[in-house]
Amino acid sequence: MRRSSLLAFIWVASLTGCAPVTQSTAPVIESGSGDVQVVVESGPAEGSERFAIVPASSRITVLTFRSGPMARLGHNHVITSSALTGSVWVAPSLEETLARIVLPVESLTVDDAAARAEEGEEFAAPVPEKDAVATRNNMLGEDLLNAGSHAFVRATCGALDFESDPSTALCDVSIAGVTVALRMPISFQQDDNQLTVRGEATITHEQLGLTPFSAAGGAVRVADGMTIRYEINAQRLSRARD
């Protein structure tokens, strides 16, 4: 099975009871597959304003869901990080805005109690610490994110489309040696010195060319869709070209 930018988030189901699962209402995003480059590599557009991502006020959250006839034996999981770094170059024509984002995979936290509490009833059941640790170790292991050889998730995003609903950006996301093309939904807010980009989407295994994890002949398995939610806050530094 090919490793993918989100395989680590969907692989392990622990065996304790959880609250009932509901399907995410986030929009399903478009996806390419294989090694691709979809973002223009010529760099920021002339006259772009550069904003630096502020990790302390930025966050990515990934929600995975249990499924199957014996789903009650599995866990829903919440994976979070507030260690995003990088830059956003806001172009005079917003459609030409470019972002480069880096996420250290070791920063990923699994089933933080406060993060689970924020997600409501379907994540209300606590996850034993040993299960959360085991899930994280598997996620970072050689068969998944392979943190020892690939320490960072990297995303390059551009080609903004403000005519679509929701607005979107086209992103190359690289992890564990594989790059996939994803069209991500965005909400884009800017004042003189601050920039905030938010989005939420559901990604399916099929879009990524993956087979969902299952156990006991499919009686316990991971639901096809996982939810990704992100908020990126950045502070203006300078123009890209003076």
DSSP secondary structure, 71-103, as one string: GGGS--EEEEE---EEEEEE-SSGGG-EEEEEE
- Residues 6 or more apart whose Cβ sits within 8 Å of residue 217: none
For 57, phi and psi rounded to 5 degrees? Answer: -115, 20
Q: How far is CA 152 from CA 16, 104, 106, 123, 142, in A?
A: 31, 4, 8, 27, 14
Average pLDDT over residues 67-87: 80
Instruction: Compute the distance between CA of residue 153 and CA of residue 27 in angstroms, rounded to an integer.
Output: 22
- Indicate the range of 37-41, 75-79, 99-103, 114-118 predicted with least confidence: 37-41
Per the model's pLDDT, the better-predicted residue between 60 and 172 turns out to be 60
Give the torsion through C-alpha atoms of 155, 176, 122, 197, to 10 deg.
-10
The predicted pLDDT at position 191 comes to 86
**Residue 195, pLDDT above cutoff 50:** yes
Q: How confident is the model at residue 28 (pLDDT cuts 50, 70, 90)?
A: low
What are the structure tokens assigned to 177, written together? Answer: 């040696």
Q: Exposure of 95 by Cβ count < 10 A (0-12 exposed, 13-18 middle, 19+ buried)?
A: middle
The predicted pLDDT at position 88 comes to 95
Q: What is the pLDDT of residues 111-147, one digit of tens each?
A: 999 999 999 888 988 888 988 887 788 778 776 778 8
Instruction: Compute the distance between CA of residue 113 and CA of residue 8 in angstroms, rounded to an integer.
Output: 20
**Residue 158, pLDDT above cutoff 50:** yes
Average pLDDT over residues 164-175: 88
Q: How confident is the model at residue 178 (pLDDT cuts 50, 70, 90)?
A: confident
Q: How confident is the model at residue 26 (pLDDT cuts 50, 70, 90)?
A: low
Average pLDDT over residues 217-231: 73
* DSSP run (H or E) holding 160: strand 152-161
Q: Residue length, the chain?
A: 242
For 113, phi and psi rounded to 5 degrees? Answer: -60, -45
The predicted pLDDT at position 223 comes to 60
Average pLDDT over residues 145-168: 90
Residue matched to tokens 């909400």? 187
- Under 8 Å between Cβ of 212 and 222: yes
